[in-house]
Amino acid sequence: MASLRALLSVGIFLLATLLAHGFDHKRVCYFTVGASPGGKTFLPENINATIKRMRALKAINPDLKIMVSIGGNSKTAKVVATIARTRRKRRRFARNCAVFLRRRNIDGLDLSFRHPLSGPSSTLRRYQYSYLVKALRRGFRIYGRRRKRPALLLSASVDPRKEVVDRAYNVKHIAKKLDWISVNAFDLLDPRRRTLQHHTALYGSAKAPKQDRDLNVADVLNYWVRKGVPKRKLLLGLSAHGRVFKLLSDTKHRIGDPTGKAKPRILSYAQVCVFGGLIVRQNEMKVPYAYNKHSWVGFDDPESLREKVRWMKKNGFGGFSFSSLNLDDFTGSACHKASFPLLTAASGVLARPSVTHARPSFTQVRPSVPQAKHFYSPVKQSTLPHDSADVPNAAVDSGPKKRQKRLVSNQ
């Protein structure tokens, strides 16, 4: 089970409704599985045992909702494109989904495609995706109707980039049919470009290239609002991973500096905690990055996630999603904090009552199977003599240059 990957992913997530401080809250948790590397498909009967265990949780919380998520990468999108191509296939798929969900006492379906139906015939596929959403909503109403049972839920996780939004989604149409939309506000910049860039900055920076200044969390979510989606239907998609770049030299480590030829890679937050470099906070973007003699990583920490969730609450969005739990420090051993420090920080802000704004409705979490095999020591931190936009974390001594040299030499 741990070896399964999302080639044709089938996910299960929980949506637990809570009542606190006079507002309704929903917390959503993903458990992601999929097709094996050998090409074997993860069939519905393979998840029955998992569904049974999750249904048992309803004895603890009667308001718990269990949903199935389908999605994955561009290969999966081709399968969905085949389904969405004709009305007959769309209706048959919707009927089968509704029957599957009701027979197993599941409460809804989530569409989770990173690049839905985008390609050469993007205009046609754009409408096919919206037709599929419409068919699912109609099928749920016809075939999923049960006396004294709530209607089946339907949601989607969407690409944040403007060029994909315009090409792949009929936004106003799908917004009417979906219960909520999670905007994956990470990996916003092309990692193949050979410049240091933060993939999930809250705000843009004047020092970033002009074409990148609107590729940030605030702008991508507000773009969906401008396209016609009510804020209360939009979830802020958060992630626990960092993007690593190869440095040309240890003196060129600021946003926008050129990078080496090595292909960027991903680090979990637990791996970031043992990265061994110096942490710098970018004040304009409200995010941290770390670097050592050879590498640079842009990531989120508890402080930056709290900043994002506070922004989300202040602006009246519907909540946040988190992807994925296995990328957080799920044991708490790497960062020497409690388990799941990132998720805990974000949820802590959501749990606090807001004085001037209604509490957001959703928290959506996407865990996967934990894969870390080692225990780590925390990242070392220091002060650095950077420009005013790059502010290091709490000082640990009064000699930044000497401290910097010693830390780098430990790599």
Tens digit of pLDDT for each residue in 26-54?
455 454 444 444 444 445 555 666 677 77
With cut-offs at 50, 70 and 90, classify the pLDDT of residue 307.
very high
Neighbours of 299 (CB within 10 A): 28
CB neighbour list of residue 114: distance below 8 Å, 6 or more residues apart: 71, 72, 73, 74, 77, 159, 184
pLDDT of 397 reads 29
pLDDT of 391 reads 47
Least confident of 117-131, 276-290, 297-311, 330-344: 117-131
With cut-offs at 50, 70 and 90, classify the pLDDT of residue 115.
low
Least confident of 62-66, 139-143, 368-372: 368-372
With cut-offs at 50, 70 and 90, classify the pLDDT of residue 74.
low
pLDDT of 59 reads 79
**Of 277, 337, 350, 250, whose CA–CA distance to 310 is shortest?**
350
Neighbours of 382 (CB within 10 A): 22
Using DSSP bridges, classify how beta strands 5-20 and 23-35 pair: parallel, antiparallel or unpaired.
Answer: antiparallel
Q: What is the mean pLDDT of residues 393-402?
A: 35
**Do 126 and 172 touch, CB atoms closer than 8 A?**
no
Three-state secondary structure call for residue 143: helix
pLDDT of 241 reads 94
With cut-offs at 50, 70 and 90, classify the pLDDT of residue 284.
very high
| Angle CA 68–72–74, to nearest 5 | 145
What CA–CA distance (Å, rounded) separates 267 from 337? 18
pLDDT of 238 reads 93
pLDDT of 256 reads 86
Q: What is the mean pLDDT of residues 375-401?
A: 37
Amino acid at 222: N
With cut-offs at 50, 70 and 90, classify the pLDDT of residue 411.
very low
pLDDT of 18 reads 36
According to DSSP, residue 35 is labeled E
**Of 8, 10, 12, 11, whose CA–CA distance to 37 is shortest?**
8
Q: Which two tokens stand for residue 191?
A: 């990692």
Using DSSP bridges, classify how beta strands 234-239 and 319-323 pair: parallel, antiparallel or unpaired.
Answer: parallel
- Torsion over CA of 211, 217, 222 and 224, rounded to 10 degrees? 90
**Of 54, 179, 141, 178, whose CA–CA distance to 104 is shortest?**
54
**Of 162, 150, 57, whose CA–CA distance to 118 is shortest?**
162
What CATH class does 5-240+299-373 carry? alpha beta
Phi, psi of 281 (to 5 degrees): -100, 125
- Identify each DSSP E strand in 45-145 by its residue range: 64-72, 108-113
CB neighbour list of residue 50: distance below 8 Å, 6 or more residues apart: 12, 31
Chain centroid, CA 326 distance in Å? 12
Neighbours of 404 (CB within 10 A): 18
317 has pLDDT over 90: yes
Least confident of 214-223, 349-358, 366-375: 366-375
**Of 154, 180, 161, whose CA–CA distance to 319 is shortest?**
180
| Angle CA 400–406–410, to nearest 5 | 140
Q: What is the mean pLDDT of residues 378-393?
A: 40
Q: Is the dihedral of CA 208, 213, 219, 224 positive or negative?
A: negative
Partners of 220 in the β-ladder: none
pLDDT of 144 reads 82
Tens digit of pLDDT for each residue in 342-370?
989 998 998 766 544 444 445 555 543 33
**pLDDT above 70: percentage of residues in the chain:** 69
pLDDT of 237 reads 92
Full DSSP string of 207-259:
TS-GGGTT-SHHHHHHHHHHTT--GGGEEEEEE--EEEEEBS-TT--STT-BB
pLDDT of 119 reads 53
Partners of 245 in the β-ladder: 296
Taking the domains of the chain in order of start, what are their residue ranges? Answer: 5-240+299-373
Between these two residues, 148 and 87, which has the higher pLDDT value? 87
pLDDT of 117 reads 54
Between these two residues, 358 and 206, which has the higher pLDDT value? 206
With cut-offs at 50, 70 and 90, classify the pLDDT of residue 139.
very high
pLDDT of 262 reads 74
Q: Which two tokens stand for residue 336?
A: 């020497």
405 has pLDDT over 90: no
Q: Is 115 exposed, middle or buried (0-12, 13-18, 19+ CB in 10 A)?
A: middle
270 has pLDDT over 80: yes
What CA–CA distance (Å, rounded) separates 273 from 376? 8
Least confident of 64-73, 93-102, 197-206: 64-73
Strand order in the sheet with 390-392: 265-267, 242-246, 295-298, 287-291, 278-282, 390-392
Mean pLDDT of the chain: 75
283 has pLDDT over 50: yes
